[in-house]
Amino acid sequence: MPPSHSHGHDHGLDGGWRVWARDPILRVVLAALAVTAVATIVGGVVLWPTGEGRRTAIANADEIGLVTDRLSATVEEVRDHRCSYSTNENPQDCRTVTLIVHEGPEAGAVVALPEINLMFDQSVPEFAVGDQIILGYEDSTNFYFYADQDRRMPLLWLAGLFALVVIGLGRFRGVLALVAMAATLVVLVAFVAPSALDGNDPLLVAVVAASAIAFISLYLTHGFTPTTTVALAGTLAALGLTLGLSWTFFELAQFSGFATEESLILPFIAENLDLSALLLGGAVIGALGALDDVTVTQVATVAELRRHSPHLPTTELVASGIRVGRDHIASTVNTLLLAYAGASMPLILLFAVSDQPLDMLANSELIAVEIVRTLCGSIGLVAAVPITTTLAAIVLRPATGEVAAPTDGTAPTADPSPSPTTAQDVEAPSESSPRIEPRWEDFGPVGDD
């Protein structure tokens, strides 16, 4: 009877985690990840926010009028008329909007917004009876004003549709991916922001958070297996390289962190906040998402190559995996550029009409920060391919050892002694093998995959 094999996330590894006990190189990788995990936990405990900084920031924001209540309301009436301050010499048209407030101290009351000048108040949208909007409310003056459209319901429907698509294709794995996404949001909202407001170094906070997100998302989504561990090791190694490069070039470029409107407000509400370190920490966290994608894909690629070619030498497996990774890198690097550019389209238009040379535009801090982020992150992505591919090829050894390349021109022969880290004991497919038709399970993994 042939020996049993693992068919879960081990991608054909014989014995699963037993491989670590027989390979010193892989034991070093596991030990390094264990040390990183302990350091992440210790860092999380030491940097865990007390909440005092957040409360102080809220109080400071309230003092300068940045904190107001947000209440839902429904438009009851829209009326256009001459502005109350209009004159015969300077006629101006205004709009008065009457609403029913659903929350707050006057829930159910009918309130009217201040006059909206149709010529100058371009930021206020067109209102229609029945529209759901968000009102701002100043408690001290009992003053209502327009804050935003109420788009919570469309966002809720979109989130539901997203969850259905992910679960429909990924099945149980999709559920785990959604849980990992929720955990990432918890880390960012409950740890990163309050800890930075407490006065902790934002870069150190971001590094600890990125490490925690990497451990949680990869192991939760892909399972606690050797191949997932390889993807995690490649992710953290490439992230460390990205951090080193970003720190170096942020220092060389001398970014102040005051290039955006938000950064000008933050010093007034959080006096001890290091904006340049916050900027660098954001670059580290931003690079993590793309790194996860590359490393997991590379491990899956190498595992699939090994499954179909159990006797392929490790060197050829590495070369094949890197060839696939080149195409992935080419598209991912462009994706980073498009993501940053797409989020800054209004800014790009303003720079287009500034009539400045391209090098002067690139020199502005607002643009230079995105350039450094994109290029340093892209270098980390490129480095992740050979790092992760090599580690995965070490885990997924040939089924019968390396195939020796003969010097006499004859066909290569395989070492008959099995490798201590034997891959899945399957025969290479022959031409007479029956054609395997694709199944839904190949595209939507079952729960135990």
Residues 127-151: what's their mean pLDDT?
A: 86
pTM of the model: 0.73
Domain boundaries, the chain: 16-49+161-395, 68-150
Q: How far apart are CA 207 and CA 204, in angstroms?
A: 5
Task: Pick the range with the lowest mean pLDDT from 17-21, 265-269, 412-416.
Answer: 412-416
Share of the chain above pLDDT 70, in %: 79
Q: How confident is the model at residue 208 (pLDDT cuts 50, 70, 90)?
A: very high
Strand ranges for 92-151 from DSSP E: 93-101, 110-112, 116-117, 132-138, 143-149
Taking a C-beta distance cutoff of 8 angstroms, is the pair 400, 306 a contact? no
Residues 209-233: what's their mean pLDDT?
A: 88
Residues 368-382: what's their mean pLDDT?
A: 84
CATH code, residues 68-150: 2.40.50
Which single residue is written with the structure tokens 């879960």? 8
Q: Which DSSP string do the residues of 139-152 spell out, in sequence order?
A: TTTTEEEEEEE--H
Task: Pick the range with the lowest mean pLDDT from 21-25, 140-144, 429-433.
Answer: 429-433
State residue 186's pLDDT score: 93
Structure tokens at 69: 């209540």
